[in-house]
Amino acid sequence: MGALADPLRLAIVGVLSRGEHCVCDIRAELPVAENLLSYHLRVLREAKLLTATRQGRWVYYRLDPDGFAALWAALAAAGVPLPGEAVATGRAGRSCAEGEVAP
């Protein structure tokens, strides 16, 4: 998680969600320093959300379906209500106020 917490990285994912792109094309859509883009691409790569392949002089990035699947699985395991899931809003067992404020 946290890899999607940066607006630039979210924008990168947005570009790549339309298909594979090389760094120079990403940079054409996102006006940002080459350094910075490389840094954020690395963060996303280390988060397993992106994969990179070199072709000649260019490096092509694409989204990693397995990484996103793992992300959603981890969130689900942590108890985060994913889209389409019901959100529990009822009262759970309480220990600190046991029977003090009976409804």
Partner DNA sequence: CGCTAGGTTCAAGTATGCTTGAAGCAAGAT
Partner DNA sequence: ATCTTGCTTCAAGCATACTTGAACCTAGCG
- Residues near DNA (CB under 7 A) are 2, 5-6, 8, 22-24, 27, 32-43, 52, 54, 56-59, 96
Q: What is the 3-state secondary structure (H, E, C) of 55-82?
A: ECCEEEEEECHHHHHHHHHHHHHHCCCC
55: which DSSP letter?
E
Q: Does 58 bind its own copies (CB under 8 A)?
A: yes
Helix or strand or coil: residue 89? coil
Helix or strand or coil: residue 82? coil
Residue 38 binding: pick among DNA, its own copies, none (C-beta 5-8 Å cut-off by kind): DNA
Q: Which residues bind its own copies (CB under 8 A)?
A: 1-2, 4-6, 10-11, 13-22, 24-25, 28, 55-56, 58, 62-65, 68-69, 72, 75, 78-84, 87-92, 94-97, 101
